Amino acid sequence: MNEAESEMIYEELIAAMRRKDPLIAEVFTRYHTYDCDAPEIAAELGIDKRKVYYLKQQAEQIRDKMMNL
C-alpha cells in the first residue's frame, strides 16, 4: 500500500467516525496523531475522562470494522 492509498483510508476512517460522532474522530486523532493521553484530551475538550475512554473505544470499534471489510 502506498502513501496515497494509506492517506485515503485514514481520511475515510475519520469521516466514518465523524458521521457517528465528531468527538469520536477528535479523540482518535488526538490519541494517534498528537500522542495525547486521556486526562489531557479531557481537559482540552472540557469533557470527563471516562467519556474520553468511551469515545476511544468507539473509535477503535469503527476502525476494526473498517479494517475487516
d(CA 23, CA 2): 29
**pLDDT tens by residue, the chain, 69 residues:** 788 888 898 999 999 999 999 999 999 999 988 888 999 999 999 999 999 999 999 999 999 998 886
d(CA 52, CA 23): 9
Cell numbers for 22, please give them. Answer: 465528531
* Cβ neighbours of 20 (radius 10 Å): 14
What are the structural domain ranges in the chain?
3-67
Cell numbers for 51, please give them. Answer: 467519556
Tell the CATH topology of 3-67. Arc Repressor Mutant, subunit A (1.10.10)
The residue among 20, 1, 6 whose CA lies nearest residue 65 is 20
pTM of the model: 0.85
